[in-house]
């Protein structure tokens, strides 16, 4: 990885003792070191345990210095601040909280691990693939003699997810064993690697266009990019691609691209399925905030289910780092006058309101600089509400929006650009916003009708109970907290007519999923017009005790902005959410299509009529192959996946369609399908495309291998690789799909 001889790398490889902290009572010294492959962290076995534990560097999300996790804050002394660091893993694996014996050692561990992580992340796709294959070879080389016997080759093939026929494996081995020593070494291993990783489908494309002495000239590559990829590229741009991706110096000097260079280019970010023009912020961020879809979380404090799961500041950090821009805080009276956050009337654990606000302050703008909305559901007494207001002001400081922008009451909401790096409070307010511009004479405490969501949650599932009139349920509200609610004042929803005629632009309603679905299916155009003026927040039904999610697409199709999902629950719904917010710099804000912002629109997603939204397209997808799919059952040497691919279009009801390939027996390394599909898409501006790879199983449910979801309008045409993501939305190292995409006007 270019780190040979590096002092920090040597420090990690030599390793040392660290104190592992799990609780106040469980703090034990353990020896850690980086293995020679440069991508595995090893915890050495200790007394009474023969097995060592290993952690892949690929599975590490970040390294935090100091006492920045709940575990270290609660279980270590402040004097050890500079001795502490934490390894934060992707997905649901718990943090590894560690204490070094000295500040210097802590610094070396942190700097060394960060260096290795950064280095791995900066490898090209081709290098990552080679690195992974070589590390698998090293594991198969049991005696470490840098030679491979036929038995070791078979073991290696199983590791990389290929179940190769014994006779075929022996034949491949014999072809490469040119020294006839019954082992492969040096150049023989290189030849074996080349034969194994050969991509016939790429060779075919390359040979079709490499018309200059068996290589691609500038003209040949330009022809390929224009004809197949539908990219308008100049001669100069093509020369830059050759200069950037061609590994052979002679070919580069002669302005030629070899097959290796062509494969490097096809695996590069700019050549993947996701349009590189959409990676950064490319949308207008100066429209009113209600003209955007906003990435939003429900019950953000929960790590698992909502009956007995743990609450944690870590859940807020994870959501904010995934560019979530609206988080929920369920606030209740806590002991010693300290407000707490948890799922009321359940066995979920509790976390201090103050700690959550500190975590939000530290992580709100790490991924996106655009505004964060704190959706408060307040069940606290007035004294503890005053404590909440104090924490919000003191901890968030200038980031907290405490006054409206401008000098008079707003007639429309400000834009994400105007609210950059600001934190907004959503909740109940005692008076109109106009009071902020007058001498406010509101009393210290007032009463307001209880937040709809809180009232509904309590009666969820009580079918026979008469609906409670929310106007009759009153709660006391402290002026200090009320005054912090500026552009997101919670009000009860009566009807679209009432909202339009009687409510201000900064007054917004929350809708339970069933209510929102009903409105989206029966009065979609009315809902879209309502959302042109106001914000709407949608939340999952209280009956979802397992923290499952509803389909957010239905709500987006009705123009709803704050479609709150349980970020802690992986699944198709969260895949769709990640896909929706993939473009525009991962800001957590996506500008709604023009026809959802135009007051004259008659767009109805359920009953499609003629209009600017109707841009009929035909999508042709050829699923060609996949590369290096992960083994699902690592413990079973003979367990090899039988992959198939499902392609789904998800948008307005008329655009919901899917198709799938047959499964390939026992090959997760380089399965080939060459299967064509055709989809008709009517409203491309609202459509998402999802590529799902599954492991076929005759006896039980098919298992998830990986997926990738992106907006229809962010796809590139032509031959494209698709990176695959895990259930929790992290990139699977080396695993890809190879497809051909063609979007045509019918």
Give the whole-angstrom CA distance, residue 330 versus residue 349: 12
239 annotated binding-site participant = no
299 annotated binding-site participant = yes
393 annotated binding-site participant = no
334 annotated binding-site participant = no
377 annotated binding-site participant = yes
Written as six digits, the tokens of 448 are 């307001």
Q: Which residues are 730's β-sheet partners?
A: none
- Side-chain-side CA neighbours of 388 within 13 Å: the count stands at 33
304 annotated binding-site participant = no
Phi, psi of 112 (to 5 degrees): -65, -50
Written as six digits, the tokens of 28 are 């034990």
Of 131, 278, 343, 740, the active-site residue reads: 343
Give the whole-angstrom CA distance, residue 705 versus residue 625: 15
Give the whole-angstrom CA distance, residue 354 versus residue 384: 12
655 annotated binding-site participant = no
- CA 254 to centroid of chain Cα atoms: 42
80 annotated binding-site participant = no
46 annotated binding-site participant = yes
34 annotated binding-site participant = yes
Give the whole-angstrom CA distance, residue 685 versus residue 613: 7
Written as six digits, the tokens of 2 are 């270019």
Give the whole-angstrom CA distance, residue 482 versus residue 460: 27
128 annotated binding-site participant = no
Rounded alpha-carbon distances, angstroms, from residue 190 to 37, 140, 160? 18, 15, 16
33 annotated binding-site participant = yes
51 annotated binding-site participant = no
23 annotated binding-site participant = yes
What residues contact residue 453 under an 8 Å CB cut-off, 6+ apart? 377, 510, 512, 539
338 annotated binding-site participant = no
Q: Which residues are 311's β-sheet partners?
A: 302
- CA 123 to centroid of chain Cα atoms: 21
343 assigned to active site: yes
- CA 74 to centroid of chain Cα atoms: 29
413 annotated binding-site participant = no
Give the whole-angstrom CA distance, residue 173 versus residue 188: 9
517 annotated binding-site participant = no
Helix (H) or strand (E) holding 405: none
From the number of C-beta atoms within 10 Å of its C-beta (0-12, 13-18, 19+), residue 547 rates as buried
30 annotated binding-site participant = yes
354 annotated binding-site participant = no
580 annotated binding-site participant = no
43 annotated binding-site participant = yes
158 annotated binding-site participant = no
How many helices (DSSP H) and strands (DSSP E) are in the chain? 22, 28
Of 278, 298, 391, 530, the active-site residue reads: 298
492 assigned to active site: no
Give the whole-angstrom CA distance, residue 730 versus residue 213: 42
The answer to whether 571 and 547 are in contact (CB under 8 A) is no
682 annotated binding-site participant = no
Written as six digits, the tokens of 21 are 């902290």
224 annotated binding-site participant = no
678 annotated binding-site participant = no
Q: Which residues are 234's β-sheet partners?
A: none
41 annotated binding-site participant = yes
47 annotated binding-site participant = yes
Give the whole-angstrom CA distance, residue 620 versus residue 679: 7
556 annotated binding-site participant = no
Written as six digits, the tokens of 119 are 């280095």
Cβ neighbour number for residue 706 with a 10 Å cutoff: 23
**DSSP one-letter string for 52-108:** -EEEEGGGEEEEEESS-SHHHHHHS-GGGGGGEEEEEESTTPPPEEEE-SSHHHHHH
Rounded alpha-carbon distances, angstroms, from residue 435 to 404, 425, 426, 449? 11, 17, 17, 19
443 annotated binding-site participant = no
666 annotated binding-site participant = yes
720 annotated binding-site participant = no
Shortest CA distance to 137 belongs to which of 78, 216, 192?
192
673 annotated binding-site participant = no
- Side-chain-side CA neighbours of 222 within 13 Å: the count stands at 13
Shortest CA distance to 23 belongs to which of 79, 70, 83, 85?
70
The answer to whether 654 and 682 are in contact (CB under 8 A) is yes
602 annotated binding-site participant = no
Give the whole-angstrom CA distance, residue 132 versus residue 409: 59
What residues contact residue 194 under an 8 Å CB cut-off, 6+ apart? none
28 annotated binding-site participant = yes
Active site residues: 298, 343
**Which residues are part of a known binding site for substrate?**
20-47, 426, 428, 510, 537
**Which residues are part of a known binding site?**
20-47, 299, 328, 330, 377, 426, 428, 510, 537, 640, 642, 666, 695-697
**Which residues are part of a known binding site for Ca(2+)?**
299, 328, 330, 377, 640, 642, 666, 695-697
């Amino acid at each position: 990885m270019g780190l040979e001889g590096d002092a920090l790398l040597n420090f990690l490889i030599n390793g040392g003792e660290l104190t592992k902290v799990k609780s106040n009572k469980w703090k034990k010294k353990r020896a850690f070191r980086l293995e020679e492959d440069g991508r595995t962290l090893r915890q050495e076995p200790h007394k009474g345990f023969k097995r060592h534990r290993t952690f892949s560097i690929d599975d590490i999300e970040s390294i935090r210095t100091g006492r920045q996790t709940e575990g270290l804050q609660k279980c270590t002394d402040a004097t050890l601040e500079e001795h502490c660091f934490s390894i934060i893993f992707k997905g649901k694996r718990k943090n590894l909280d560690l204490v070094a014996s000295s500040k210097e050692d802590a610094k070396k561990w942190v700097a060394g691990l960060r260096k290795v992580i950064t280095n791995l992340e900066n490898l090209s796709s081709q290098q990552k693939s080679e690195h992974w294959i070589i590390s698998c070879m090293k594991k198969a080389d049991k005696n470490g003699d840098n030679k491979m016997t036929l038995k070791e080759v078979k073991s290696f093939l199983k590791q990389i997810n290929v179940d190769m026929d014994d006779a075929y494996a022996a034949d491949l081995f014999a072809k490469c064993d040119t020294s006839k020593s019954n082992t492969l070494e040096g150049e023989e291993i290189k030849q074996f690697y080349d034969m194994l990783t050969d991509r016939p489908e790429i060779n075919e494309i390359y040979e079709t266009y490499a018309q200059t002495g068996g290589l691609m000239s500038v003209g040949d590559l330009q022809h390929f990019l224009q004809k197949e990829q539908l990219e308008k590229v100049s001669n100069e741009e093509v020369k830059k691609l050759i200069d950037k991706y061609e590994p052979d110096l002679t070919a580069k000097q002669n302005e030629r691209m070899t097959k290796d260079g062509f494969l490097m280019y096809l695996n590069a970010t700019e050549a993947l399925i996701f349009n590189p023009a959409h990676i950064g912020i490319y949308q207008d961020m100066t429209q009113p905030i209600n003209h955007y879809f906003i990435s939003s979380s429900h019950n953000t404090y929960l790590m698992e289910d909502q009956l007995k799961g743990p609450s944690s500041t870590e859940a807020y950090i994870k959501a904010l780092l995934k560019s979530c821009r609206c988080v929920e805080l369920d606030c209740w009276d806590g002991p010693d006058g300290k407000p707490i956050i948890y799922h009321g009337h359940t066995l979920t654990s509790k976390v201090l309101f103050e700690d959550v606000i500190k975590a939000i302050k530290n992580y709100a703008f790490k991924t996106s600089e655009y505004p964060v909305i704190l959706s408060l559901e307040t069940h606290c007494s007035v004294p503890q509400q005053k404590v909440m207001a104090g924490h919000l002001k003191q901890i968030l400081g200038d980031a907290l929006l405490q006054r409206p922008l401008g000098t008079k009451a707003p007639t429309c909401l400000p834009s994400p650009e105007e609210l950059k790096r600001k934190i907004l409070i959503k909740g109940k307010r005692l008076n109109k916003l106009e009071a902020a511009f007058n001498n406010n004479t509101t009393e210290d405490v007032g009463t307001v009708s209880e937040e709809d969501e809180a009232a509904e949650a309590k009666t969820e599932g009580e079918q026979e109970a008469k609906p409670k009139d929310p106007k009759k349920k009153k709660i006391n509200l402290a002026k200090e907290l009320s005054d912090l609610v500026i552009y997101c004042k919670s009000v009860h929803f009566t009807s679209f007519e009432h909202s339009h005629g009687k409510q201000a632009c900064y007054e917004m309603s929350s809708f339970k999923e069933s209510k929102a679905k009903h409105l989206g299916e029966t009065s979609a155009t009315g809902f879209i017009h309502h959302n042109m003026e106001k914000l709407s927040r949608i939340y999952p039904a209280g009956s979802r005790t397992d923290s499952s999610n509803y389909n957010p697409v239905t709500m987006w199709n009705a123009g709803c902005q704050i479609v709150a999902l349980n970020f802690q629950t992986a699944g198709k719904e969260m895949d769709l959410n990640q896909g929706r917010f993939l473009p525009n710099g991962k800001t957590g804000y996506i500008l709604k299509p023009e026809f959802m912002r135009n007051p004259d629109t008659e767009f109805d997603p359920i009953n499609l009529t003629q209009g600017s939204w109707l841009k009929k397209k035909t999508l042709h997808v050829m699923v060609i192959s996949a590369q290096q799919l992960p083994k699902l059952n690592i413990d079973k040497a003979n367990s090899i996946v039988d992959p198939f691919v499902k392609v789904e279009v998800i948008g307005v009801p008329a655009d919901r369609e899917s198709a799938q390939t047959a499964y390939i027996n026992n090959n997760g390394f380089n399965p080939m399908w060459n299967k064509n599909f055709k989809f008709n898409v009517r409203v491309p501006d609202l459509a998402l495309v999802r590529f799902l790879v599954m492991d076929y199983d005759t006896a039980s449910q098919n298992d998830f291998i990986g997926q990738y979801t992106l907006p229809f309008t962010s796809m590139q045409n032509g031959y494209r690789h698709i990176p695959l993501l895990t259930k929790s939305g992290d990139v699977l190292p080396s695993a890809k799909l190879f497809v051909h995409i063609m979007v045509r006007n019918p």
